[in-house]
Structure 1
Amino acid sequence: MLFDAYITLGIFALTILGLIVLQKRPVAVFGATLVALIACDLVTKNQLLTSIANPGLITLILLMLCSLALEKTRLLRVIASKTIVDSYYSTWFRLFGVTTFFSSILNNTAVVATLLSPIRNNPHHFASKLLLPLSYASILGGTLTLIGTSTNLIVNSMYIEASGKSLSFFSFTAVGAILVLCCGVAMFFCNRMLPSIEQNKATSEGYFIDAKVSVDSQLVGYSVEVNGLRHLESLFLVEIVREGRLISPVSPSEIIHPSDRLIFCGDITKLLQLGQFSGLEIFAEKTGTINSNLTEVVIRQESLLVGRTLKTTGFRALFDAAVVAIRRDGERVSGKLGDVVIRSGDFLVLAVGGDYKSRTNINKNFLTLSGVEPESRINGWKAWLSVGGFVTTIILAAVGVLDLLEGLVLLLGSLLFTRCLTTNEIVRRFPVDIWLVVSSAILLSNALVNSGIVEFIGGFIGQFNGPQYVYTALILVYLITWIMTEFVTNNAAAALMFPIGYTVALGFGVDVLPFVMAVAFAASGSFISPYGYQTNLMVFNAGNYRLNDFVKIGLPISVVYALVVMIFVPVFFPF
């Protein structure tokens, strides 16, 4: 038993170390943890199967899949069009209200992705004055309900595994509502610190498009001016790559040579203008799908593309897609598209093939954004079914008429049967990474129990019986979870810290719910790092922010957030 305890502690410590060192690959770290636990015989076969099929985890997966149908309707887009008005303060309040409400019942990444483009291209206000509040509001909205964020559902899945009971739909609402109110006020007063960053064409619509001049092109031998390359709508010829040499700026009198690479910058929706020039081939044109299947994505932090060029990754074979254009948070991308070193947060526009949507690696490497992608939309009765079915299921589950898991199974079946969703979409967007992270964390908590570590910690903590020790322990659990969230992402922090918080509560002999809630709220409180939460990464690039902007705005909000949680969690969930 003692040997098993040492091995389990070692695996636990290495998991945390791995998440810190390999921040971009949490799935690989948790996958290694799962393999190690099984290889060392620290868990039983029944515990393995139970962790994979945990009811809370299955509920999370089904919720994310059912919400895909809502993304395909016009609901959020119509609301987005009504949100931005002439008055900045009116826009701010509308944006905050809309974002918090929809983030409480939908995937907040989808909410932010929908509102991103209208804000970025609005004619009334600096986008940088709205995008950071957008991300923070989506985080706060997620704390309102059980289904508001994957963090809450992950904590609930582990709570079910540990206690056999589930948190209710509104367990988080009281504290979450106070967080929305208090942090909303703090955000409003911090508005003056938001930067005013001009969204010029190089930043707001600054996609860089690589086009090659064929040997027999009619452009060859004539100048840029004569060829009409300076008179395109919203596209600008910024440089020419010729035999490894960069020509920039491009003079109107510059003569076009065979095999020149013409690098344009501008509005990606105007891309098809280039088709009017004989012998001018877009980088991705060989796929034959550039006219209809354009998809805009952002590179995930853990993507295998990060730090590599498109040429060396075998991009087309990996994803059945080719890169049409690239944009990097307002920074000019220079040279041939195939030679650009990819960074996390880069925006790409892809021309996708017929097999793209069925590839299982898409969701692991990209966040798919709306606006450019001509993805299938649902209208009419299918849209009403998607929205009405989802809302009805959530309401029935909230009032206790229908079990949420059962309701989501019925809803998903209906969406598939009516073709509101397709099996290809389910496969493409299936959250395998979350499934692996949560099931591995549940298995790790089982190993901590099996090896006697939980019993030992409980006995040690039981020596301290004073109420001041309990509250101090609650603060420490919150702080450690929050720090891990900023460094290793919210889902990983929740999954790792739950067994610790739960065990500490048992050791003191008090109700476990205050510690469970502290872990859940702390894991959602990522305001300082642009990499701790997906929505932060999305607005970080779109708003051309610097890390200092997140620290300056996020630090006071984090303090207010922590104070609210530490004051009101013990009030609504007494020890």
Structure 2
Amino acid sequence: MTWEQILVLVVFFSTIFGLAFTNKRPASVFAASMLLLLLTQQLSLEAVLKNVTNTGLVTLVLLLLVSHSIDKTAFIKRLGRAIVRKSFTQSFWRMFAVTFSSSALLNNTAIVASLIGPIKQNQLHAPSRLLIPLSYAAILGGTVTLIGTSTNLIVDSFLIEHGHPGFNFFDFTLFGLTAGLACAVLLFFLTPLLPNIASNENSYQSYLLEADVEAASELIGKTVEENHLRNLPELFLIEIIRRNVVMSPVTPDMLIEENDKLIFSGNVQKMDNLAHIKGLTMFAEADGLLRDNLTEVIVSNRAPIINRTLKEVGFRALFDAAVVAIRRDGEQISGKIGELKLQAGDFLLLATGADFQRRDNITKNFFVVSEQKITRKLKPWQEAFTLLGFVSTIVLAATSMVPLALGLLFFTASLTLINVSSIREIKRHLPVNLILVIVGALSLATALESSGIISLATNGLMPIIGDMPPVYALTLVYIMTLLLTEFVTNNAAAALMFPFAYGIVNAMGLPLMPFALAVAFAASASFISPYGYQTNLIVFSATNYKFKDFVKIGTPISILYSGIVLSLLTWVYL
């Protein structure tokens, strides 16, 4: 073994150690490995730049950017509101069906982030009995199609890198769908083992928000429970004002009527969940002022508007702003926002007009605290274009009429042209850390292959694996990847294991496809540890789970999933 090979091996094992046993971010670990290989000339700059433009990586980045636009639509939010029912069985299967099917086409992390709010806030079942199943459903759904998870696209990029045409859109479907549905049944029977624990305390400051029920609203004539108003993420319906009468507390069987004013308390950054309810309008939205940003102000102790209501001072005309929400520390407030008497120290969230900053009365009345970013509601035609455009792009790619990367590129550009997204949002949502992980992993794999490490390792293993049945070799690759993914990220596990799987395939003269699929499925099979997959980490942080909760539920799921995937891969390919 040459000193160059020893150096590459040291970098390789140091990378695994850094990922598994330090608190450094995977992007930092891979970036350091890549820079070290460049510095020691074990990797060329041309090879790194080639990895940056890898088709699989470009596809993944575009898919993530498109997912942010789809998340602006009401589609997932409406599904989320309808998940929880009185029956735990119905709630489980609704949650699993929505998450599993959505994750097959959309980024599973975004799906979990969108659905975690309604599940955490539900008042019928302990969130801890649904959150781990939510994460597992997203993981399982991601294995059904090529674009279901970034892991599949990373392995696809390796295939293309090695001269293979890559995966077809539905190459994963037979294995992922069979394993996913079987694991769903097992997961349901394992739910009694999940703990009944309360959610973590909310970290946000609760504001009072008011929304009007307009004529022909979808809410009218149905109860609070039927409208799923008790399942809004971090927003609580505390009062209904009807014909100037305050109705509180709000019970699940209360009917919603036209012209009702619904008073919510909660996180203002979740008010987009109200905007997606048809016929429910906030004052600032009706007044044409509600935009992407809200300005948070505190009423000054010398403000002339103290002890007067918003209506009395003519707030809109006086400041070119509308009050979206109000918070008063140390005191619970109720009633119509427009009829509350303002006090010194009140926090107001304002939707401001173009003239707000130029008014000379702002500093006399307020201390400006900060700006709050909110999600802008899409127009109906923008929503329709976003959803139909995405489905069309996927259909064209699945039927091989248009390459997926090309379709996503034009779709992303069209979303920018119709103002669903913007260049600023694209810059803000660009997954720089993920790009560093993938480019770093691809570059490390390039160094392992170009230095001869892979050939050396496979030649050394030939006396052992030479007469090994193909199914044993496939199982070995799968188990090694599965163990690695529980200690490092799923993307890193796929990128680090593929070169070794490729070496074994060449040494034994076996078909590449089952081994590539084995790496992809094993890298996604992070059920036992909360740290191996981002959706596990999200739900782990959302409530007071313990590590043993994942081990207890995840171990039988992992065994069943692995057994089905390996059996089907052997049956189809070997």
**If the length of structure 1 is used for normalisation, what is the TM-score?**
0.71
Mapping for residues 3-14 of structure 1, pairs under 5 Å: 3-14=3-14
8 Å Cα contact 1:42/1:451 also seen in 2: yes
- Tell me the SS of whatever aligns to 1:130: helix
> Amino acid of the residue matched to residue 559 of structure 2?
V
| Aligned residue number for residue 170 of structure 1 | 170
| Aligned residue number for residue 327 of structure 2 | 272
Mapping for residues 366-381 of structure 1, pairs under 5 Å: 374-381=374-381
Structure 1 residue 559: Cα displacement: 1.3
| Aligned residue number for residue 112 of structure 2 | 112
Q: Per-residue CA shift, 1:87-123, capped at 9, x if unaligned? A: 1111111111111000000011111111111111112
Mapping for residues 315-464 of structure 1, pairs under 5 Å: 353=371, 374-464=374-464
- Tell me the SS of whatever aligns to 2:182: helix
Looking at structure 2, the residues matched to 50 and 164 of structure 1 have their Cα atoms a distance apart, in angstroms, of: 17
| Aligned residue number for residue 95 of structure 2 | 95
| Aligned residue number for residue 69 of structure 2 | 69
> CA 1:404–1:186 in 2, change beyond 3 Å: closer, same or farther?
same
8 Å Cα contact 2:326/2:346 also seen in 1: no
8 Å Cα contact 1:112/1:134 also seen in 2: yes
Structure 1 residue 82: Cα displacement: 2.0
Structure 1 residue 273: Cα displacement: 3.1
| Aligned residue number for residue 365 of structure 2 | none
Answering whether residue 527 of structure 2 is matched by residue 527 of structure 1, we say yes
Structure 1 residue 429: Cα displacement: 0.8
Looking at structure 2, the residues matched to 136 and 440 of structure 1 have their Cα atoms a distance apart, in angstroms, of: 27
> CA 1:465–1:528 in 2, change beyond 3 Å: closer, same or farther?
closer
Q: Per-residue CA shift, 1:120-173, capped at 9, x if unaligned? A: 111222211211111110000000001001111111112211234211111111
> CA 1:164–1:515 in 2, change beyond 3 Å: closer, same or farther?
closer
8 Å Cα contact 2:99/2:141 also seen in 1: yes
> Amino acid of the residue matched to residue 93 of structure 1?
W
Looking at structure 1, the residues matched to 406 and 5 of structure 2 have their Cα atoms a distance apart, in angstroms, of: 38
- Tell me the SS of whatever aligns to 1:188: helix
8 Å Cα contact 1:55/1:405 also seen in 2: yes
| Aligned residue number for residue 283 of structure 2 | none
**If the length of structure 2 is used for normalisation, what is the TM-score?**
0.71
Q: Per-residue CA shift, 1:523-573, capped at 9, x if unaligned? A: 111112112111112212323222221111111111111212222222233
| Aligned residue number for residue 194 of structure 1 | 194
Answering whether residue 551 of structure 2 is matched by residue 542 of structure 1, we say no
8 Å Cα contact 1:161/1:442 also seen in 2: no
Looking at structure 1, the residues matched to 264 and 100 of structure 2 have their Cα atoms a distance apart, in angstroms, of: 38
8 Å Cα contact 2:183/2:560 also seen in 1: yes
8 Å Cα contact 2:325/2:350 also seen in 1: no
Q: Unpaired runs of 5+ in structure 1?
A: 211-231, 236-268, 294-350, 355-372
- Tell me the SS of whatever aligns to 2:42: coil
> CA 1:46–1:233 in 2, change beyond 3 Å: closer, same or farther?
closer
8 Å Cα contact 1:108/1:535 also seen in 2: yes
- Tell me the SS of whatever aligns to 1:163: coil
- Tell me the SS of whatever aligns to 1:98: helix
Looking at structure 2, the residues matched to 514 and 16 of structure 1 have their Cα atoms a distance apart, in angstroms, of: 25
Answering whether residue 20 of structure 2 is matched by residue 20 of structure 1, we say yes
Answering whether residue 98 of structure 2 is matched by residue 86 of structure 1, we say no
> Amino acid of the residue matched to residue 177 of structure 1?
L
8 Å Cα contact 1:51/1:442 also seen in 2: yes
Answering whether residue 54 of structure 2 is matched by residue 54 of structure 1, we say yes
Moved more, 64-73 or 509-518: 509-518
Structure 1 residue 510: Cα displacement: 0.9
> CA 1:136–1:271 in 2, change beyond 3 Å: closer, same or farther?
farther
> Amino acid of the residue matched to residue 44 of structure 1?
S
8 Å Cα contact 1:457/1:504 also seen in 2: no
8 Å Cα contact 2:445/2:495 also seen in 1: no
| Aligned residue number for residue 218 of structure 1 | none
Q: Per-residue CA shift, 1:447-467, capped at 9, x if unaligned? A: 122212222233334445656
Looking at structure 1, the residues matched to 490 and 410 of structure 2 have their Cα atoms a distance apart, in angstroms, of: 30
8 Å Cα contact 2:30/2:436 also seen in 1: yes
| Aligned residue number for residue 503 of structure 1 | 503
RMSD: 2.8
Which structure: larger Rg? 2
> CA 1:417–1:76 in 2, change beyond 3 Å: closer, same or farther?
same
Q: Percent sequence identity over matched residues?
A: 40
Looking at structure 1, the residues matched to 23 and 564 of structure 2 have their Cα atoms a distance apart, in angstroms, of: 29
Q: Unpaired runs of 5+ in structure 2?
A: 208-262, 267-323, 334-340, 353-368
> CA 1:430–1:34 in 2, change beyond 3 Å: closer, same or farther?
same
Looking at structure 2, the residues matched to 548 and 118 of structure 1 have their Cα atoms a distance apart, in angstroms, of: 25
8 Å Cα contact 1:106/1:148 also seen in 2: yes
Runs of 4+ in structure 1 off by over 6 angstroms are 232-235
8 Å Cα contact 1:482/1:525 also seen in 2: yes
